[in-house]
Amino acid sequence: MHEILSPEEMGRADRFAAEAGPLETYDLMRNAGAAVTAEILARFPDCTGFDVLCGPGNNGGDGYVVARLLHERGLDVRIWRETEPRPGTDAARAAAEWPMRVGTLGNFAPAAGRLVVDALFGAGLAKPVEGVYAEALEKTVAAKSPVMAIDLPSGVSGESGKILGTAAPAQVTVTFFRKKPGHLLYPGRTLCGEVVVADIGIPEDVLKTIRPRCRENAPEFWKALLPRPHIEIHKYERGHAAVFSGGPSATGAARLAARGAARIGAGAVTLLSPATALAVNAMHLTSIMLKRVGAVDELDVFRRSRKASAYLLGPGFGVSEKARVFAAAVLRSSEEAPAHLVLDADGISAFSEEPELLFAEAAASLGNLVLTPHLGEFGRLFPDLAADEQLSKLGKARAAAARSGAIVLLKGPDTVIAAPDGNAVINTNATPYLATAGSGDVLAGMITGLLAQGMPAFEAAAAAAYLHAEAARAFGPGLIAEDLPEMLPEVLKRFL
């Protein structure tokens, strides 16, 4: 159930299911209404009545079915609508089965003790909610009425999670067959409440035809690929990760990242330090090795002699020409010893003036680049994509991955990981405790550590994002970045 369908893909799922039979589209609507009704009866048994707000389309059709089923149980139900459904549609058929009068939406007034069933607009909404529809939602918000949303809270884009006009937060949202991006992407995710995915009779086989390329990040996706050392393994066979350090006043970020790489399982981790920072780094390191690398010739010597398989450049490094030179040197690793590069923080910003130079190096590196920007860094490297209001966060990450040839991990409470081929996952287990200085450095180190152990880049980024959040959840209040690597052994035990 981890696949995520766009509104367009969900429409295709409905059509394919009806074409395959035995259910028609109206049967699916009736099943959807029955599923919502069952959740209402289970979760809101003490409501004195139900106000069902019905829109003109199929979402409204689901609302008519819900109202009829509640009415048949002897409950106090009122339907409010602005316009009738278009004749000949499934929604019109459902409306015709409603035996009572229908109120005008403009006259709707929420009342204490009554549940509002939001059946105005579903996931396919493409324009702002305005006029009497917006007024009805605003009244609901002002009255603090409990809301059950059908498919998505009206006003939330199923494609992007953006608020189109206005929306009323729901305590529970019942959607059908699979979640949509709007259930997982902010700010829409904050309005959905608990999301219930109901089975309405669409066969799983339709997914083989649709072939969705987005899913909710879950251990089932990458758990089998987590590195598992065998009894005779050598430390370097467990993976050698290298992390570039900044100057003497900016070394902490790199050490946090190196610790993350080590705790995620890399057998050897080396901090590559300029000469001016060797002493301060040496005072803080024990199991993590230290090597002087201040120029590209020293990096070349290290690469040939130590053969690290994954490098991290960026945390505390500084925005400089040296960052660009080092990144290019790693990405030009020979075919006999290809190396992954995770570019984070300053490493990303270093290419903001000439991003095409980075993309050219990435294109020649056989997909060995991982970018881990937050929204600000993303805007420096992909300013046109960041400014495109028509693109969702998922769409922006996918477009950036396709353009750069890299795995793009676009950070935030709804982190999106995208591959150049369009495959993507949305991470959903984040916690606000991760909003602390240095947590992103640890995440970048974790990705580097998994890459060093041979995990594929897309799955390594997805696994690291999930485990990073689980470590934060395990620690809880008071978390600082230094705590995250130390929580990883306990978290990993659940998956290995």
- pLDDT tens digit sequence for 298-307: 999 999 998 8
> CA dihedral in degrees (352, 356, 360, 366; nearest 10)?
60
Q: For residue 334, what pLDDT is reported?
A: 66
Determine the angle formed by the axes of helices 321-331 and 355-363, rounding to 10 degrees: 10
Q: Tell me if residue 418 falls in helix, strand or coil.
A: strand
Reply yes or no on whether the pLDDT at 408 is more than 90.
yes
Residues 384 and 403: their CA atoms lie apart, in Å, by 12
Residue 272 near residue 291, CB atoms below 8 Å: yes
- CATH for the stretch 7-212: 3.40.50.10260
> CA dihedral in degrees (220, 224, 226, 229; nearest 10)?
150
Q: For residue 281, what pLDDT is reported?
A: 98
Dig out the tokens for 95 from the structure.
């409306």
What strands, in cross-sheet order, belong to the sheet with 194-198?
103-104, 77-81, 49-54, 114-119, 147-150, 172-176, 194-198
Residue 175 host element (H or E): strand 172-176
CATH 3.40.50.10260 residue window(s) in the chain: 7-212
What are the residue ranges of helices labelled H in 211-363?
A: 219-222, 252-263, 278-284, 296-306, 321-331, 346-349, 355-363
Q: Tell me if residue 488 falls in helix, strand or coil.
A: helix
Residue 370 host element (H or E): strand 369-371
> 479: pLDDT confidence band, cut at 50, 70 and 90?
very high
Closest CA to 310 of 270, 273, 275: 270
CATH 3.40.1190.20 residue window(s) in the chain: 219-493
The predicted model gives 420-448 an average pLDDT of: 97
Global confidence as pTM: 0.96
The predicted model gives 456-468 an average pLDDT of: 98
Reply yes or no on whether the pLDDT at 366 is more than 80.
no
Q: For residue 333, what pLDDT is reported?
A: 79
Total number of residues shown for the chain: 496
Reply yes or no on whether the pLDDT at 8 is more than 80.
yes
Residue 127, C-beta contacts closer than 8 angstroms, at least 6 positions apart: 164
The predicted model gives 397-408 an average pLDDT of: 97
Q: For residue 335, what pLDDT is reported?
A: 62
In this structure, of 17-31, 178-192, 229-243, the range with the lowest mean pLDDT score is 229-243
Q: What CATH class has 219-493?
A: alpha beta
Reply yes or no on whether the pLDDT at 71 is more than 90.
yes
Reply yes or no on whether the pLDDT at 406 is more than 70.
yes
Reply yes or no on whether the pLDDT at 160 is more than 80.
yes
Reply yes or no on whether the pLDDT at 101 is more than 70.
yes
Closest CA to 362 of 335, 340, 381: 340
Dig out the tokens for 300 from the structure.
């070349």
The predicted-structure confidence for 376-390, as pLDDT tens digits, reads as follows 999 999 999 999 999
The predicted-structure confidence for 48-58, as pLDDT tens digits, reads as follows 999 999 999 99
Reply yes or no on whether the pLDDT at 449 is more than 80.
yes
Which is more confident, 335 or 6? 6
The predicted-structure confidence for 243-265, as pLDDT tens digits, reads as follows 999 999 999 999 999 999 999 99
Residues 372 and 415: their CA atoms lie apart, in Å, by 10
Distances (CA, A) of 318 to 247, 274, 357, 442, 444: 8, 12, 18, 17, 16
Residues 425 and 188: their CA atoms lie apart, in Å, by 17
The predicted model gives 197-208 an average pLDDT of: 96
Tell me what the pLDDT averaged over the chain comes to.
Answer: 96
The predicted model gives 28-46 an average pLDDT of: 98
Q: For residue 229, what pLDDT is reported?
A: 86
Q: For residue 157, what pLDDT is reported?
A: 98
